[in-house]
A and B are shown apart, each in its own frame.
Chain A
């Protein structure tokens, strides 16, 4: 017997708590795929991954396979990876360079911009059944890029991407996609792909959770304090005064912490030429931002944290993949980029000291929500003391649950919108 009705979203998501069934209910998962991943902007790839004409990269929008391509004229396309004949995927590689995609099943062949070019033995189709101009690979309804980040939407009725990114743009512009790095940031270092047996929302909540680190990642803080001279990921101190958390309309949420002047000075000493060039070209605030801890979640699936890019991919209500890639800076010194790799491997790799413990916590929550007698998860931390931002956002202390509340407000809004549509 159900103890609650999933029909009632206002019951499941309340200002200070959420119901555990949002992590377990297969019907809600199906709704998420339809109303969230099927109806809002979803991050699909970084432009550096398809830099040359013909480059492609296969990925998913929610559970739906797509190919992100760059055609001969340099235009970017996001195409459903499904033959218009009998639905086989036409691209089976993760990435590559191709002018055409040929379906492995019956050989229907498409240009990398989507047009259907050829159908084997086509004389057994009447002309009315084979209008090639209407049988290209289905394009995503909307495709746009923001400073190298490619987004697509399966819903034509979304606001423009820049408007959708709204208040989060400030942080993308200022920290990750600052003009100093925008053109040279790349994902050429590769990736680690994590999988964990729990719901996808644990990952988007956890990545902007400023409350857990001192407990869950206690060992990392000890290691950092014991060996300050070794390369460490740049997790900010637990001081509540050095930053804040924010939730913006659209479900984009973040955690921001700035470094001490000592940290900045140390970095200047380690990379004197590079930092003096950055500062003379872009001003002295840049390094402070560059060395800060910024965790920005672009709802629903892109997470940029400490200059690493993470994509969260739901597999099922209880299975999730996270693809994590360090972002290298093309014109930075080699030793700076190598140090970034070592920092990533310490914190975010599948064999690292932080990310696997995060996944373990997500699994622990998934196991815990099976205890349904009290079905609620509390998200009330700092609720009494939130600052309202111009533009409709909220700001709290770094350890407040402001970001988690913001995620669930948008989650509920999109599910309600999907039901009404």
Chain B
């Protein structure tokens, strides 16, 4: 972790590295939504040639603060200065003109347009009323060489990979002369290798004097890339400190406000009889292409099997086939010996498959249903929840109350609407429903996606507890760290097949290589 002195000789346009004069300063930013204080008198500054990490749990106020900075919200109190001069930001356009660029977590690119067109959009070099494509192309090429961000200027955005698209976003901001660049959870969509490349880009930007605000909840990244760190908790900036000397444990405690267990503590597994058996499974995706191509695997009672892989290698289709949401083309899925292949979601659940879906808002919960109703979406047709087609809301509530207590769901009564809970507590509701009763197999897809440190700890502990209770758990996650800390066995999935199997001691590097096709270089 060097402070950017390498990378050859300084170019004429490069500004000297870290100075102590802030480029951008936020003073006492307060933003209220009704009774909720999303940002409470937050001070933050970034210097040229500095990476300033903004760390915080979901709901801590990171997004609100960045939306204030990007002109999407106007703050109730406080002021923003750039080069010591006050800024009035009424819209993103004002922010862009002031030299603030933002790379959103979900890219804002136009798929059918070329890389060049996307970069120059709204600031096009013109030739009369027409776009001067040649000039635009030269400008893009020059910019990409200057910052070492390789892109193909004439490729259409829909044809290039996610990592490339992210570079296009960064170039777009630089083309608009951004001096402050906000990166919102930039590694969430990248493989470890791609993340490494991104960090190189960030370092090279830092050397050229760009001030970077790096938003993340991944502690290891913060320590790797940041110069200074500001931790937000419940709308307040609880600490701003140099990255040197900080530890993951200390940062986690600042974020959550109490001591947390970062690494899952578990005993070695003692697998029993096979509960989930999949053989020669072939599943088509929505476009009719084979996404799972002859996959076989087995999960035994009392073990967690993790599936590592880059998003889009058939994981979604595999999960849908196991949980009965889609019918496989061929192959067999059996739970404790009983065939459930292609017989629908109800049969799969009744056969013993619980499912923690990847997208909890879309597939996990009915947000406008009460918790009592959400917990009953499997059981409502059975006694005591209903008799002869008549449901008994009081009995549902009684059952819900017990489950909510058992799974420590905070801020939720049986009559609370699911949408009113925090993400972590919503996930607890999903888990409570999916493991209740006689579920032998639990399919957990990205079970901690979007959750904060405290909730992640709960979910991980609960998964281990379910393992120890003798369930077979299949964990699908795009976070290698999660796979490695939870799994008793790791399977690597690539292009619809299992390409490697490891014990719990596999390394990220090894998996990262196999995830991208075994030794072949990562795209981009």
The answer to whether A and B come from one shared complex is: no
Binding site for B on A (CB under 8 A): none
